[in-house]
Structure 1
Amino acid sequence: MIKTIIFDFGDVFLNLDKPATARELKKYNISHFSEEMLQKNLEYEKGLITSEEFIESYCSSFPDLTSEAFTGTWNSILVDFPEHRLKFLQKLKQEGKFELILLSNTNHIHMDWVKKNIAFFEEFKACFDAFYLSQEINLRKPDPEIYKFVLGKHSLDPDEVLFIDDTAENTAAASKLGIHTWNIDPVTQDVTDLFTIKSDLF
């Protein structure tokens, strides 16, 4: 029986346009990501470098980029947060049947945008018993350590946990630890359909 639900954020609650950043960077003649750039992205997502250091790493590599232009480009992936998903989450919280945890790979630039542009962000955050962002815990999905961290922190039995994420690599890693998963398809599925799509678990 499921007692804890762990949710991803992007493309579960917050709609994303994943190709947008690469598309926008092409306007600045940036079409190739070097291994060093990809490593910087991972370090930033794990909170190992500051926003200033991250932005500087791009601007120093690509003279056409300004700090402001890069920030806008970086945030172009973020679209909107449909309010019906908040209401669904608030109902779950009110019913009190499940421990609710958020586990997201994200970064400070994206979260600054979210806090500024999603009017009900604090209401959203208040629905969770725990709110884990990769930038704050220095761990990221799909590394097994991030799932072990959450399981250990909350003394969870993996067989009583459902993890919802739009990235197959992330749900596959959680499954290997015995966690139930839903690799949600943001194009055809909505998190509000949880109890219909995953009815076998409840």
Structure 2
Amino acid sequence: MIKNLLFDFGDVFINLDKKAPEQALAKMGIRTIDEEMTTWHNTYEKGLITSDQLIENYLKKFPQLTALSFQQAWNSIILDFPQERLDWIIELAKSKKYRLLLLSNTNDLHIEQVIKNMGAVRYSQFQNCFERFYLSQQINLRKPDLEIYDFVLRKDDLLANETLFIDDTILNTAAASSMGIHTWHLEPGFEDVTQLFEVKKALF
């Protein structure tokens, strides 16, 4: 029986354009995301380097960039948060039928853009729906590393077989599944989080 719902954020609640940053960087002559850059991104998502350090790394490597042009490219991934999804999670929280938690790989620059796009009031309404609001940058862990799922299970005293994890990235759901957590690999554009109880009705 499912008692705990663990949600991703991007492309589950807020829409993303995952190709936009690379496309924006390509227009500025940066056509490859190499291993060094990927390491910066992952380290930044874990909160182990600051926004200023990430920007400095990029400006040193690519002198054609400015701090502003980089930030605009970086944040171009963040789109809108449909009101029907916010209404849905607010109603689910009010029902108190399940423990609701959020687990997101993110970073300071993206969260700043999310709040700007959503508005501070709507972001606060969303955040208040969850018992826990885990952001990778704050807990120094990131998906799909198994440590992050173990951290959440232990921290909140959750049983894996009573927990359903919803994420749009198959590597993340596969990792959670390997620990006995029920999962829904949500495919953006084909499914919507508001369909949870229809798509996964066998679990409820």
TM over 0.5, shorter chain: yes
Unaligned regions of 5+ residues in structure 1, if any? none
Indicate the residue corresponding to 2:168 in structure 1: 166
Aligned to 1:109: 109
1:4 aligns with 2:34: no
Compute the displacement of 1:33 (Å): 1.7
Q: CA deviation at 1:13?
A: 0.2
Q: State the AA in 2 paired with 1:74.
A: W
Task: Give distance in 2, aligned partners of 1:105 and 1:144.
Answer: 13
Q: Aligned residue for 1:77?
A: 77
- Runs (4+) off by over 2 Å: none
Which residue does the alignment assign to 2:188? Answer: 186
**In 2: Cα distance, 1:161 partner to 1:53 partner:** 37
Structure 2 distance, partners of 1:117, 1:16, is 12
1:160 CA displacement: 0.2
Partner of 1:24: 24
| Whole-Å separation in 1 of the counterparts to 2:23 and 2:115 | 24
Aligned partner of residue 184 in structure 2, secondary structure: strand
2:141 counterpart of 1:139: yes
| CA-atom RMSD in angstroms | 0.5
Match of 2:37 in 1: 37
1:36 Cα offset (Å): 1.1
Provide the TM-score with structure 2 as the length reference. 0.98
Matched residues in 1 for 2:158 and 2:63: separation? 49
| CA drift at 1:187 | 1.3
Could you tell me the TM-score, scaled by structure 1's length? 0.99
- Give the deviation of 1:111 after TM superposition: 0.4
> SS in structure 2 opposite 1:15?
coil
The aligned residue for residue 197 of structure 1 is: 199
**Does the 8 A contact of 2:79 with 2:117 survive in 1?**
no
Count of residues in Structure 1 that have an aligned counterpart in Structure 2: 202
> SS state of the match for residue 131, structure 1?
strand
Amino acid at match of 1:149: F
What SS does the aligned partner of 2:79 have?
Answer: strand
After TM superposition, give the deviation of residue 35 of structure 1 in Å. 1.2
Secondary structure of the corresponding residue to residue 68 of structure 1: helix
Letter in 1 for 2:15: N
**1:67, distance to aligned residue in structure 2 (A):** 0.1
For residues 43-74 of structure 1, the C-alpha deviation after alignment (integer angstroms, 9 at most, x for no partner) is: 00000000000011011111110000000000
Query: One-letter code of the match for 2:96?
Result: G
